[in-house]
Amino acid sequence: MTLRHLQIFRAVCDCGSITAAADRLNVTQPSVSMAIRELEAFYQTRLFDRINRKIYLTEAGTMLRQYTDTMLDQYDDMTILLREGKVFTKCRIGVNISVAETLLPDVIRKARARIPDINLNVLVHNTETIEQKLADNQIDFAILDNVKDSASRNSRIFDTDDMVIVCSPYVYYKDSMTIGELAEKPLLLREEGSGLRSCVEGVFARHGYGMNIIMESTSTLALAELADGGLGFTVLPLSIVKKLEKTLCLKTVKLEDDIFRRSYYLVYNKKKHLTYTMTEFLKAMERTDE
């Protein structure tokens, strides 16, 4: 049995005749009669009594009518919801730790302002993990420092972030240094694979210097506290340093011959099917300074 059989059956019930049902459905009368016969053969019962050229529902027909109305109404509701797409409110995003500590609150605020009923799931991890989750379709969008697989992904600049050298004022008194001088200092850096680490490595590589890393951490706050304690030098987003100035005694040092700066990209797979909620999320994330 198909939905078409049930649609024909309901039309016959509504119209009270085979001929009127055929006219409503814009099909031939034999087609309607055949569908009713197939229904009766399938359920092995009579659905209509035919008396004096009129048809009347049997007890079995009345029962089938009740189920038919329920099923076809649910089918119509499902069709409307799927076509409009507004029923799907889930949106999964992945951000690295630096984004979580700086931009994520604003991302959530913008998303909820535009889509109040959004079901926002957020994954916070390092950049490599976020890249893999995006490739495996375990998240819908990512905010990353760089886009490795640009051929299969859509991306646009979401924000930019300047980073500064940070240390204790008791271990370095100057306001600036060269990349060569920094290469000789004990460095406290984020773990390999993180966006911040990749940015720092890129600057050192451009100038042909290695790095004297004495400690790695997945926690930006831990690096700041260790730098505050005089253990070494770290590189942190300026926005985070400004927030920590009230609780830690940190000195910022300018890099004389280069700059630590990274752009954040909003990324998603080109073949990704975007629901209504996902499309609205993209609109909410558009930059207002462009």
Nearest to 265 by CA among 108, 131, 138, 135: 131
**Domain spanning 3-84: which CATH class is it, in words?**
mainly alpha
Residue 246 has pLDDT above 70, yes or no: yes
All structural domains of the chain with their residue ranges: 3-84, 90-159+264-284, 161-261
pLDDT in tens, 26-68: 999 999 999 999 999 999 999 999 888 889 999 999 999 999 9
CA distance to 10, 21, 138, 159, per residue, from 287 (Å): 53, 56, 25, 8
Q: In whole angstroms, what is the distance from residue 11 CA to residue 266 CA?
A: 51
pLDDT score at 9: 95
Residue 18 has pLDDT above 80, yes or no: yes
Residue 84 banded pLDDT, cuts 50, 70, 90 = low
CATH number of 90-159+264-284: 3.40.190.10
Instruction: List Cβ neighbours of 238 (8 Å cut-off, separation of 6 or more).
Output: 161, 162, 163, 164, 252
Mapped onto helix, strand or coil, the DSSP state of residue 256 is coil
Instruction: List Cβ neighbours of 278 (8 Å cut-off, separation of 6 or more).
Output: 91, 140, 141, 272
Helical spans, DSSP H, in the chain? 3-15, 18-25, 29-43, 59-84, 97-102, 104-114, 127-135, 179-183, 195-207, 220-228, 238-244, 276-284
Tell me which of 288 and 182 has the higher pLDDT: 182
Task: Kindly state which CATH superfamily the domain 161-261 is placed in.
Answer: Periplasmic binding protein-like II (3.40.190.10)
pLDDT in tens, 124-155: 988 888 989 998 899 999 998 777 767 889 99
Q: Give me the percent of the chain exceeding a pLDDT of 70.
A: 97
pLDDT in tens, 197-238: 888 999 999 999 999 999 999 888 999 999 999 999 999 988
Planar angle of CA 135, 137, 140, nearest 5 degrees: 105
What is the reported pTM? 0.62
Query: Is beta strand 233-237 parallel, antiparallel or unpaired with respect to 153-167?
Result: antiparallel
Question: Hey, do 3-84 and 90-159+264-284 end up sharing a CATH topology, with the first three levels equal?
Answer: no
pLDDT in tens, 99-127: 888 889 999 999 999 999 999 999 998 88
Surface-to-core class of residue 105, CB atoms within 10 Å of its CB (0-12 exposed, 13-18 middle, 19+ buried): exposed
